[in-house]
Chains A and B, each alone.
Chain A
Amino acid sequence: MILRPWAYPNRPSKGFTDGARASLPLCLVLVAFGASFGILARANGFGMVAPVVMSLTTFTGASQFAVVSILGGGGGLGAAVAAAALLASRYVPIGLSVAPALHGSLPRRFIQSQMVIDESWAVANRGDGTIDGPALLGAGFALYLSWFAGTVLGVIGGDFIGDPEALGLDAAFPALFLALLVPQMKSAQSRIAAVAGALIAVILVPFTSAGVPVVAASLACLAGWWRK
């Protein structure tokens, strides 16, 4: 298969509800991780309000964990903000890939864009370079509510959820991304992009701060211009 998404402008959509349903297993994972964020934030002196505000606005786990652990560990404001911004910078290329699927007025597109996180983007990916817009919004909204609910549980004392790592939930993320990656590797371009992306990320891990490896891996999309 060749990557020619522009040849299919009106692809059928799974719809908002089916997008939300497809994300349900991930919602449970996000509740657990939201709770662990809430617990960690509170233990680091963030109180009860700030972690919840952060989950409602920032809505990207890696950046939130980075801020709490850097500031809580005695690091400076600059270091915390820089690390969190680097971690979130992958949303620039991800947002560009999502853009053709989000329609409507500018304020509407702005609000819709906030439902984009790794998991909703992955669930709504059709595997041919196009994104299912309604499914993205459904999955994003379900995940947003889960992340919020988890954070609230965590700050009010959600120790009953248990340690997400003891439950192996951190391994759910690579499993999800692998399960979504494999069906996409049908063309030579996508296989080259996947291998190059993985190599770039692994090589950079020891030398750069967290977040940089994944952003740099987006350069592997240049494989899209590869000619057989």
Chain B
Amino acid sequence: MPRRLVAKVSDMWLAVILVGAAAIAMKAVGPVAVGGRQLPRRAMLLVGALAPALLAAFVVTSTFATGKTLVVDERALGLAAAAICVACRAPLLAAVVAAAVVTAIARSV
């Protein structure tokens, strides 16, 4: 086996092990450190505001970011369709399906 290929194969497994360990550790740190206990009142205020902050960040990055560039593409149309569904109090599934269908149609034309 050529040496470069050997190095690449072991790099791959090192990455699998290191990234796996990092992801497992980062998911575990909160529940292992403070699991089952009520957080102090001031900490709960922060945690309560964390959901809207992160959800909003997910919405904008998964719609408008492609790598490091900000773009407005077919996903924005899909998001608009989802927004209409949410405004009409349609179920979550309808919003998700509408976004996918509108995005797929926009890409195909």
B68 close to A206 (CB less than 8 A): yes
Interface residues of B in 1-49 (CB under 8 A from A): 8, 11-16, 18-20, 22-24, 26-39, 41-42, 44-49
A175 close to B82 (CB less than 8 A): yes
Q: List 21 A-B contacts (CB under 8 A).
A: A57-B20, A77-B11, A85-B19, A94-B30, A94-B54, A97-B51, A102-B35, A122-B55, A129-B47, A166-B107, A170-B103, A171-B75, A172-B96, A173-B62, A175-B81, A184-B51, A189-B45, A189-B48, A221-B46, A221-B53, A224-B47
Which residues of B come within 8 Å of A, CB atoms? 8, 11-16, 18-20, 22-24, 26-39, 41-42, 44-65, 67-70, 74-75, 78-79, 81-83, 85-86, 92-93, 95-108
Q: A174-B75, A196-B53 are in contact. Are A205 and B68 (CB under 8 A)?
A: yes
A6 close to B107 (CB less than 8 A): no
B50 close to A198 (CB less than 8 A): no
Consensus secondary structure, chain B interface: helix
Q: Does A109 touch B at the CB level, under 8 Å?
A: yes
Chain A 103-132 against B: per-residue CB contact (8 Å), 1 yes, 0 no?
Answer: 110100110111010100010010111000
B100 close to A217 (CB less than 8 A): no
Residues of B within 8 A of A81 (CB): 14-15, 18-19, 22
Shortest Cβ distance from A185 into B: residue: B52
A6, B65: Cα distance in complex, Å: 36
Count residues of A near B (Cβ-Cβ below 8 Å).
Answer: 105
Contacting residue for B53 out of A125, A175, A223, CB 8 A: A223
A3, B79: Cα distance in complex, Å: 27
Interface residues of A in 193-218 (CB under 8 A from B): 193-198, 200-202, 205-210, 213-214, 217-218
B78 close to A168 (CB less than 8 A): yes
Q: Does A40 touch B at the CB level, under 8 Å?
A: no
Residues of B within 8 A of A175 (CB): 78-79, 81-82, 95-96, 98-100
B56 close to A95 (CB less than 8 A): no
Contacting residue for A178 out of B39, B46, B95, CB 8 A: B95
Shortest Cβ distance from A202 into B: residue: B60
Contacting residue for B50 out of A59, A165, A201, A218, CB 8 A: A218
Q: A185-B52, A220-B53, A221-B47 are in contact. Are A100 and B103 (CB under 8 A)?
A: no
Q: Return A99 CB to nearest CB of chain B, in Å.
A: 4
A165, B35: Cα distance in complex, Å: 38
Q: Return B74 CB to nearest CB of chain A, in Å.
A: 7
